[in-house]
Chains A and B, each alone.
Chain A
Amino acid sequence: MRRNLCTGISLAFAAAISVTFATTVYAADPGKVVVASYGGSFQDAQTKAFFEPYAKATGATVTGTTGTGYAKVKAMVTSGNVTWDVISADAAAYESEVKDDLLQPIDYSVVKADGIPAELRTKYGVGYMKFAQNLAWNKEKFPKGLTPAQFFDPSVKARRVMLALPYYNLEFALLADGVKPANLYPLDVDRGLKVIDRIKDQIVGFKPPSDVQALIQQGEVDAAFGPGGRLNNAIKAGANWAYTYDGSVTVVEYWAVLKGAPNAAEAMKFINFAVQPQPQAELPKQIFYGPTNVEGLKLLEPALAKDLPGNPENEKLGGVLNSKWWNDNLASVSTRWSTYIMQ
């Protein structure tokens, strides 16, 4: 045992010595851009739809990395050690990053995309993808489907799951209660909570997205309100489920450029490329998310386009997340939400 230990220790020592303490200096380099996304299947899709075609078309090096998110972006910009150029940011993170002055304005002399609706071409970011939170149900339990109103009807017995955070849930509850999508904001939080309260005892949990998918797949719930991509994954994996865009909440994903980005000029060119119709139409072929460029949507096969989030036909059945409103109200609504769900 002693001898084994000694060998172990000396091996560990040898391994420790072999640690290479790599430090790389990132110099501004034309024809080079670093894009930070989320990793996993979504980043694989982005690589095929945006990174590789852009590199091929321009000869630039696109380095895809992972870890985008408000906390890390804020830490990076605050520390002055900015190594990312472009980030992918969901509406909520994007608004927080704008509020904290972590982004630089988009150069609209470079980024040209008339097919992107004007409200998605904002000062600090371009909305390039849409995803939605949908109502879904087990087809065996509900062969005739389920409406948002039924989801909140206590007489419809079902094990339900909703999302952990206040946003999306409150919009869904209000839409189910008959609020018109155009009149959603400012959110009537009291009314939303009252609607959820009707079926609170039938909710098994308020869970993060990955758990919603796992619970559907493992047969733990009969009805769920969660991210469409996750619902789609579960159905592809064999869950006998269906979903609807009734009462759905659509969310925009943005491209943005960090303040102090080492390759800002190339970053603008990359964003311009990634919002053009052709690459926009490529993404949904890889993964179940919708393009924002209406010209891109037209390039898709109708059968695929029909079901995508962000398709105007689908979007009008539900609401669109107003991240600006949430950014202003998150702190207070969060507290009420936590108090409510913990009671």
Chain B
Amino acid sequence: MKQSSRFGGWGVNWGQLMMLLPVTLLLIFAFALPLLTIVPTAFGGDAAERFVQIFGSPVFRTVILTTVRIGFEATAITLVVAFPLAWILSRASGVKMLLLGLLVLIPFLTSVLVRTFAWLAILGQRGLVNAALLKLGLIVDPLPLLFSEPAVILALVHSSIPMMVFSLVTVLRRIDGRTLLAAHTLGAPPLRAWMGIVIPLAIRGIQSGVTIVFLFTMASFIAPALLGNQRQQMLAQVIQSELENGADWPLAAALGITLAATATIIVFVLSMVASLFSRWQNPGALPLAASQQAKPADTAILRKSVVMPKPFISLPGVSRALWLIAEPAYLLVISIYVLLPLLVLFPVSFSSADVLIFPPPGYSLRWFEKILGSPEWVSAGLTSLRIGAATCLLSFILATLTVLGLGRRSRFQGVAEALVQSPLTVPSVVFALGAYLMFARVGLVDTEMGIVIAHTVLIFPVVYLIASATFSSIDPWLSFAAATLGANPWRIFKTVVFPLLLPGLAIGALLAMLLSFDESVASIFLSNLSVKTLPRKLWEGIRFNTSPESAAVSAMLLCITCLVIAIGIAAVFGRRRGVRLVQTAPSQA
């Protein structure tokens, strides 16, 4: 085990520890210390009674169970829905890759305010779905689609797709499509080939995607409030309202601890399950030593004549046709799902009304004029952009160092990963409050630096998880080979590991930028007179009115991104074959 931690051929242990220094400092000073200013309130006074109150009361037990259940349901559905998309994206190149990438990004580019409203306008009594069904004569009375758990899950899955796809895609890209071809020639039916090859090879991507999505859905509070009913309140909703009403801060802190502990335990168990699926990734001893003791392989099988397996389905024509339409049909359905909220967003952003209402009573450009014409909005946008870029860069560097520092497999991998992920488990409002109290002492409140630090703490685990999944899919023998050819560790890193790690890091950093751009809770707490971010501008009016500003901002963000992607497509056409990142194998199944 000890040897295998140096397996990657990267430095000695103290070198790795040095690389873990920045993340350790960040977690201690910007995460643990802020929490220490708020967490002890949970244990002040009669702490035991407080936790008895939480676990003894049927209300809180229901809330905790609901939170975990919705987290699991949303994560499982996201995995199933997003996996084929990630697979197709990982096999795509050029224009197809860029268009699919854009599709995946769309839920992220629309503010959560508008997205949630869009589901209301889609699923409501007079919503798009019911209107369509009524018109088709399929139903007589509108279906009660809203205020139910499925409505909440539909919205949560929608916003989780990008995180899942991006976690999976960097790992899936590494899978050689020819292995499936090989399995096929050896007679494995498609299901077996997938379960036996793709899933185990993708397990680290699945694990990081599941972790991220589970933690995000567990901590969600906006969609459950609008789309759910009071019977499915989630823990983060309760914490948010307890803190803001000031009814009972110690109770809110205790609930925060409960949420964090529950999430950590579940994620830990999940990672144990994942490691069962990928035992091949951490062999007990060096494979070299193992092969010396292994019995010589039974080669008799090579001389036997191979019995060709019966076709999987006896109607080859039909199954072939099905396979041919499976991918386009799937892509069509998932595109409709992902793009559906845009049907509401774009009309609403051109609304002439003072309020968010669909369909809008009239159309105008007033919200775009208001936003582009106001120095306050423009400067808030630029502030968010600066904070996003800085968060992206910091997370990128920290994630690189942490991935390398933790290495491939070490004895404390589980604990270390749990520590690194811990910022994702704490409800952001609890962290934000602690960060305010602690940052105020060092003059970091109301500075862009303060928000950047808070965002980095909250977001860098996402970048780490994606990068770490990518890292584990890099063949360690490449580093070995480079070392035997005389490369020093730095050169190995520069020419072998880093280039292979870059796609994962880059996708993670992109997510970091977008998450930071949309983050409202910590930004609102840590900003005051001199710093104003876009989400704060979007959220602050909400107490008295919900204006279409948020839709207009989202529409602009989408247009800018589409423009960037369009330029990318033009570049692809300009260079034709130049953009292929990996040689794509024909899609198999």
Residues of A within 8 A of B (CB): 1-2, 4-5, 8-9, 11-13, 15-16, 18-24, 26, 34, 38-43, 63, 65-67, 69-72, 74-76, 78-81, 83-84, 92-93, 96, 100, 159, 164-165, 204-211, 213-215, 217-220, 229-230, 233-234, 236-238, 287, 330-331, 334-335, 338-339, 341-342
Contact = CB atoms under 8 A, between A and B. Distances in A.
B447 to A, nearest CB: 5
Summarize A's interface: helix, strand, loop or mixed.
helix
Interface in B527-575: 527-531, 536-537, 539-547, 568
Given A40-B544, A206-B230, 5 more contacts: A9-B393, A22-B530, A38-B541, A217-B355, A229-B545
Nearest to A8: B506
A214 B546 contact: yes
Contact of A41 (B121, B536, B541): B541
Contacts of A342: 59, 62-63, 230-231, 233
Contact of A339 (B58, B247, B387, B579): B58
A330 B225 contact: no
Interface stretch (B79-87, B323-331, B415-423, B433-441): B433-441
Summarize B's interface: helix, strand, loop or mixed.
helix
9 contacts: A5-B502, A15-B390, A43-B541, A63-B529, A71-B243, A71-B429, A74-B249, A211-B226, A331-B248
B541 A40 contact: yes
A69 B540 contact: no
A9 B509 CA distance: 9
Interface stretch (B122-130, B284-292, B465-473): B122-130
A237 B445 contact: no
A83 B244 contact: no
Interface stretch (B185-193, B275-283, B356-364): B356-364
Contacts of A75: 433, 436-437, 440, 525
A237 B547 contact: no
B475 interface: no
B446 interface: yes
Contacts of A234: 355
Nearest to B580: A1
B31 interface: no
B64 interface: no
Interface size class of B (residues with CB under 8 A): 35 or more
Contact of B524 (A15, A67, A218, A236): A67
The 9 closest A-B pairs by CB, nearest first: A40-B541, A39-B540, A79-B440, A15-B389, A70-B246, A81-B440, A42-B544, A96-B246, A16-B390
A218 to B, nearest CB: 5
Interface string B361-376: 1000000000000000
Point out which of A22, A238, A338 has the most chain B C-beta atoms below 10 A from its C-beta.
A338
B390 A71 contact: no
Contact of B541 (A24, A39, A165, A217): A39
Contacts of B126: 218-220
B432 to A, nearest CB: 9
B525 A72 contact: yes
Interface string B443-484: 101111100100000000000000000000000000000000
A92 to B, nearest CB: 7
A218 B124 contact: yes
